[in-house]
Amino acid sequence: MAKALKTAYLKHGIDYRLSRFQTSPNSGDWFIVVQYPDQAAYQQAQAAIVQDRECQQSFAEIAKIAKRISREMVIDLDL
């Protein structure tokens, strides 16, 4: 399922990384990082994902077995 979503995201220029916690109270939980080149790309991708059948199908399949605990948005600073 993650591979299918990654493939769908890559079509929209979105970088997708899946990791798993090995320590802490979150041990065993999944951690997903989704990166966009910039704010404009984020906005374009969000509009496209709503219309993308592959993305929506992946979301539905993942929702059957996983629960989102949190969602955070961060902006990298180029120092």
In angstroms, the CA 29 to CA 34 distance is: 17
Whether the per-residue pLDDT at 17 is higher than 90: the answer is yes
In angstroms, the CA 61 to CA 1 distance is: 7
Query: Per the confidence metrics, is the pTM higher than 0.85?
Result: no
The CA-based diameter of the chain, rounded to the nearest angstrom, is: 41
At 68 the pLDDT is: 86
**27-48: per-residue pLDDT in tens?**
999 999 999 988 899 999 999 9
At 76 the pLDDT is: 84
Which domains can be identified in the chain, with CATH numbers? 2-65 (3.30.70.100)
